[in-house]
Structure 1
Amino acid sequence: TGSLSVKKWFLVMKKELLIGFMIGITLGLTLYVRGFFWRGGPTVGMVVAISMVAISLWSNLLGSLLPILLTKFKLDPAVISSPLLTTVVDSTGLLIYFTLADYIFHL
């Protein structure tokens, strides 16, 4: 019907975060192995793996929240969501990655 109650909203968020976590763990473990062998150490793999989990969680959360927020502002989510989501997730994903690398490597 187009309406989303608070209870349904929390169920959607819970499901999206769980899916994002599973995707992040899968990609994170894969990239950990890749980073470990590519640069010869566990630290690079750890940075990439943790970043992937965080970025996956963030993108799933944002991807499920953005259409709801755009609808509240009476904007068409079908037109705006995809370009806005791509831009925000790409730029914040880099920020997450470099912040984690800076924190772990003490740069």
Structure 2
Amino acid sequence: MCIFGEPNQLQQVFLNLILNGIEAVGNSGTITVSTSREGESAVLKISDTGTGIPQEMLEKIFEPFFTTKPGKGAGLGLAITKKIVEAHKGQIKVESEAGKGTIFTLAFPAV
């Protein structure tokens, strides 16, 4: 399974999501990365067992300068991530439950 894309940009997407997961789980959680093919899409899921994102914040996490971590970072990582995914004709979705973790699902046209 392959996707076409700019390797450095896609690496930035994966790095942003994995680093966010690392921050969320701290020293005691798990991050899982999985891939699959669903129809004509290559799907990547990055999930963590971290603190989760409150539901009222989920709609805002892809907005520039929005952060769930005041005082840490500029709030641009997920906004940039979404732009890169969309530039590669992909989609990004997030599911989260406070106290249980977060799942980011990325779908790209498969080659």
Q: TM-score, normalised by structure 2?
A: 0.30
Which structure's CA Rg is the greater one?
1
Higher relative contact order, structure no. (Cα contacts within 8 Å, ≥ 6 residues apart): 2
Q: TM-score, normalised by structure 1?
A: 0.31
Greater fraction strand: 2
Greater fraction helix: 1
